[in-house]
Amino acid sequence: MRIDILTLFPEMFAPLDQSIVKRARDKGIVELNLTNIRDFATDKHQTADDRIYGGGAGMVMKPGPIFAACRSVMSADRPRIIITSPQGRPFDQQLAQELAKEEQLIIICGHYEGIDERVVEYLATDMISLGDFVLCGGELAAMAISEAVTRLQPGALGDDSSSEEESFADGLLEYPQYTRPPQFEEHQVPQVLQNGNHAEIKLWRRQQSLQRTWRNRPDLLAQATLTAADKKYLAQLQQQNSKPYRFFVSLLHYPVYNKKHQVINTSLTNLDLHDIARAALTYEVEKYFIVQPVDQQRQLIGTLLDHWGDGFGAAYNPDRHAALTRVQLLPYFEDVIAEIEKLCGQKPQIIATSALAEENDQLTGYQQMRQIIEQQGGVYLLLLGTGWGLTEEMRAAADYQLRPIYGVGAYNHLSVRSAASIMLDRLFGER
């Protein structure tokens, strides 16, 4: 395999002349070349960048030297030509394995404010990112890609099975590794690794990989290839390690905003009563509290609850009856807190929601919130607003503020019952 790196700073690549990459180069497994883009500039100052069309801070790398440098190193008919950029496809082990099968890779290292877009459109085949952060240039990313691809070449590691048992090779994190001595200070190598039973060792390693992935990168499990035994073990882990939690939902009709940002009391929407109650039962929410201080509104809600709780509706639709028995009507938010404290012996941690995020909001993502609930346990109250949303005082008093739910476009006007169902599914639904 041949890797050509085009860069303005070839002196940065000394690490690629060390360790496994150096041995692979010495054995002829990988040919790795560095090309200075400035050598292909046509002016006496070897200028490789210029000012931005349309104005703006910084400089952009010129297309001419990059095209010329790239053409000078092409050895394959159709090489993969890669630009390292935070705008690109995230680099992972699957992509490394894909690139390792290529005859030639040409990696263009961006710098300054970026690369002329004509290089992206008419020369490059791929844009690759190391992650959601910005570096001074693409050199470190090029080194990471080169090393990851090199070590996958046959013979690069000495023992080709090494790369098959590493983290991400099968979608899971790697199991723990130990070496001599068998006991260091008071810490001992697990006995299973010392007994010579290869079947037991294989099972232990698989379960350790599953456990590490479940604890540290649960998102990987959705894409990993899991056997029935793997799934059974993960279910046992969940049961053994999950801390008990209690979860409640409250819909506030007061205090909330109207579209003029005035604090108001909103009226009941019958669908909010039914649909959020059904979602609450679906996701095993303990109670769904409706806060409504206006007497006439409370009487209307009470009539509906009586109909489905003890009246004709209870016998006509038992499923709806089951959902609405989780509803409790209270006049004020403080009554909700008091009721939860009476039920649980402690005040809940409040999770506020909003359709829009303010500039200084400290937001919690759904995966993060899910992990907090599962791993820390405790009592939680999801607070939903009607009208134009919860007041600033209510949101400021919360322990967590969930990220808003965004669709694919600019329209952002979900009903509270739709938003509630999406939130509960993200927090408690299938991974």
The pLDDT tens digits of the residues spanning 100-109 come to 999 999 999 9
Contact call for residues 167 and 161 (beta carbons, < 8 A): no
Contacts of 406 (CB under 8 A, 6+ apart): 412
Question: Is 243 a residue whose pLDDT tops 70?
Answer: no
Q: Is 187 helix (H, G, I), strand (E, B) or coil?
A: strand
Q: State the pTM of this model.
A: 0.57
Domains of the chain (ranges; CATH) run 2-161 (3.40.1280.10), 170-181+193-241 (1.10.1270.20), 245-428 (3.40.1280.10)
Q: How many Å apart are CA 152 and CA 400, to the nearest integer?
A: 44
pLDDT in tens, 6-54: 999 999 999 999 999 999 999 999 999 999 999 999 999 999 999 999 8
Give 184-198 pLDDT, tens digit per residue. 888 888 999 999 999
pLDDT band at 114 (very low <50, low <70, confident <90, very high): confident
pLDDT by residue (tens digit) across 339-398?
999 999 999 999 999 988 877 788 999 999 999 998 888 999 999 999 999 999 999 999
pLDDT tens-digit map of 45-101: 999 999 999 888 889 999 999 999 999 999 988 999 999 988 899 999 999 999 999
pLDDT, tens digit, 9 for 90 and up, residues 261-308: 999 999 999 999 999 999 999 999 999 999 999 999 999 999 999 999
pLDDT digits (tens, 9 = 90+) for 327-355: 999 999 999 999 999 999 999 999 999 98
The pLDDT of residue 152? 95
How would DSSP label each residue in 244-268? PEEEEEEEESSSEE-TTS-EE-PPP
| 8 Å CB contact between 374 and 241 | no
How many Å apart are CA 6 and CA 330, to the nearest integer?
A: 68
Q: What percent of the chain has pLDDT over 90?
A: 73
CB 249 within 8 A of CB 281: no
**Residue 163 above 80 pLDDT?**
no
DSSP secondary structure letter of residue 110 = -
Q: Give the Cα separation of 65 and 333 in Å (integer).
A: 66
Say whether 415 sits in a helix, a strand or coil. Answer: coil
381 Cβ partners below 8 Å, 6+ apart?
A: 247, 248, 249, 250, 336, 337, 340, 348, 349, 350, 351
User: Hey, which bits of 52-100 come out as E strands?
Assistant: 59-61, 80-90
Give 408's DSSP letter.
S
pLDDT value of residue 161:
57
Provide the pLDDT for residue 86: 85
Q: What is the pLDDT of residue 309?
A: 86
Q: How many CB atoms lie within 10 A of CB 45?
A: 7
pLDDT band with cut points at 50, 70 and 90 for residue 160: low
Q: What is the mean pLDDT of the chain?
A: 92
| Residue 169 CB burial class (10 angstroms; 0-12, 13-18, ≥19) | middle
Instruction: Go through 10-32 and write b for each residue having 16 or more CB atoms within 10 A of its CB, e for each that does not.
Output: bebbeebeeeebebbbeeeebeb
pLDDT at 158 over 80: no
Report pLDDT for 56.
83
Per the structure block, which two tokens stand in for 364?
Answer: 């919690």
In angstroms and rounded to an integer, the radius of gyration of the C-alpha atoms of the chain is: 30
